[in-house]
Amino acid sequence: MSGRLERRVALVTGGGSGIGAATCRALAKEGAMVAVTDLSPEAALSVADAIQAAGGQAKAFTHDVTSPEDWERVVGEVDAAFGRLDILVNNAGMTTVGNELMSHSLENWRRTLAVNLDGVFYGHRYAGPLILKGGRGGSVINISSIMGKIATPGAAAYCASKGAVLMLTKAAALEWAPLGIRVNSVHPGYVETPLVHNILREVEDGNAVRETLVQQHALGRLAEPAEIANAIVFLASDESSFMTGSEMVVDGGYTAR
């Protein structure tokens, strides 16, 4: 495949499903060689196999983003497989609902921040040097959320982690601008992903909650994963060459109200 990202190497965390899987496919369609990483080896392999079957280049890696040792191993394996890294998409994340602050378990709080925030920090810490080694700069895209900009009750850990990703992005953008590495964040609204579907199954009267969520998006629907992936491809490409430290909101008008 040839396209806007030809001869570039991308690493996508949480690439086995949802936004991550759509991003892997979209990057490969534009010519990137994609390292699909996921906590589930089966999910990562399924996405990589599908990309290869469509004529693209991809390799699957088992990856726990909360583990510095896993980051070091995966980045080394990506270096061995592709010889460089140009694009890092810190996408892996988790959420829980209905966690009131006065009864919020420390275990849940720490797990949420470990995945959503520490995992993004480790991405910069361990993958950044490989991007720099390539000598031609690169693009880091951190997946935050509209909940990193606005709050919702019962989701303090998620909001805190995604808000922190926003500010980590800005700090990294300033630090890495002289290195030619751009760092931007993407803030999706609610998306038709397994993550959102699982949340709706957990809450009482999930169908009513879903309808409420739909109504809160000015476009009257939830996003498709490919629509978020398209924004990520733009930030990965030279078309966004003057963007760094930016917050790209892709929310169907949710935060415009």
Q: What is the pLDDT of residues 158-199, one digit of tens each?
A: 999 999 999 999 999 999 999 999 999 999 999 998 877 777
Q: Using 50, 70 and 90 to split pLDDT, how confident is the model at 149?
A: very high
Residue range 137-165: mean pLDDT, rounded: 96
Binning pLDDT at 50, 70 and 90, where does residue 67 land?
Answer: very high
Residues constituting the chain: 257
Please indicate, yes or no, if residue 218 is contained in any of the structural domains: no
Between 194-202 and 206-216, two packed helices, what is the crossing angle to 10 degrees?
Answer: 130
In the predicted model, what is the mean pLDDT of the chain? 95
Q: Three-state DSSP class for 249?
A: strand
Strand partners, 11: 35, 88
The Cα 207–Cα 220 span in angstroms is 15
* Residue 166 CB partners (closer than 8 Å, separation 6+): 144, 148, 149, 185, 187, 247
Is 129 inside any structural domain? yes
Q: Which of these is catalytic: 122, 126, 158, 190?
A: 158
**Position 241 in a domain:** yes
34: in domain = yes
DSSP labels, 160-224: HHHHHHHHHHHHHHHHHGGGTEEEEEEEE--BSSHHHHHHHHHSTTHHHHHHHHHHHSTTSSPBP
Position 33 in a domain: yes
Query: Is the confidence at residue 65, as pLDDT, over 60?
Result: yes
Q: For position 231, which CATH number holds? A: 3.40.50.720
190 is catalytic: no
Report helix, strand or coil for 60: strand
Predicted local distance difference test score (pLDDT) of residue 203: 73
pLDDT one-digit tens code per residue, 204-257: 787 888 898 899 999 999 999 999 999 999 999 999 999 999 999 999 999 998
Q: Is there a domain that residue 126 lies in?
A: yes
The answer to whether residue 219 is domain-embedded is no
Q: Do residues 86 and 10 lie in contact, with contact meaning Cβ atoms separated by under 8 Å? A: yes
Please tell me the total count of domains within the chain: 1
Which element (helix H / strand E) includes 248? Answer: strand 247-250
Question: Is 1 a residue whose pLDDT tops 80?
Answer: no
Measured at the alpha carbon of residue 137, what is the angle toward residues 132 and 139, in degrees to the nearest 5?
105
Amino acid at site 61: F
Q: Which domain holds residue 172?
A: 9-190+224-256
Please check whether residue 148 lies inside any domain of the structure. Answer: yes
